[in-house]
């Protein structure tokens, strides 16, 4: 692969544990896999900045996005991914884990 190193792109990944590389079946994690695939497809070197927190809720990520250094990174980014909502869904589903199967089917 011939990669143009003179004009690298910036990829900013924001999110929860999936962005951090925790709890995913993908190895080394989707951020690195996406970077590798994008470099091949675009034939450009890609720099990565990851802003992620394991266990972050959508509200946590929204708060992260209010931070000036993250806003600046997003403004400069050529590629952005956002992973949010998985932990919210997990929290919302917790009450159902303790119900007998017959009660869950009535919802």
Per-residue pLDDT tens over the stretch 71-84: 999 999 999 999 88
* Better pLDDT: 101 or 58: 58
CA distance 13 to 35: 10
The label of the residue with tokens 């999110």 reads 15
- pLDDT at 4 > cutoff 90: no
Q: What b-and-e string marks burial along 31-52, b requiring 16 or more CB atoms within 10 Å of the CB?
A: beebbeebbeeeebebeebbbb
This prediction has a pTM of: 0.76
More confident residue, 89 or 67: 67
What confidence score (pLDDT) does residue 1 get?
46
Which residue has better confidence, 63 or 20? 63
């Amino acid at each position: 692969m011939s990669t143009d190193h003179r004009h690298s792109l910036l990829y900013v990944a924001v999110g929860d544990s999936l962005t951090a590389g925790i709890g995913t079946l993908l190895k080394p994690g989707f951020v690195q896999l996406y970077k590798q695939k994008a470099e091949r497809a675009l034939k450009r070197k890609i720099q990565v900045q990851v802003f992620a927190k394991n266990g972050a809720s959508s509200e946590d990520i929204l708060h992260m996005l209010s931070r000036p250094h993250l806003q600046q990174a997003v403004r400069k980014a050529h590629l952005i991914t956002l992973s949010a909502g998985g932990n919210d869904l997990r929290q919302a589903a917790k009450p159902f884990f303790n119900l007998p199967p017959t009660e869950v089917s009535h919802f």
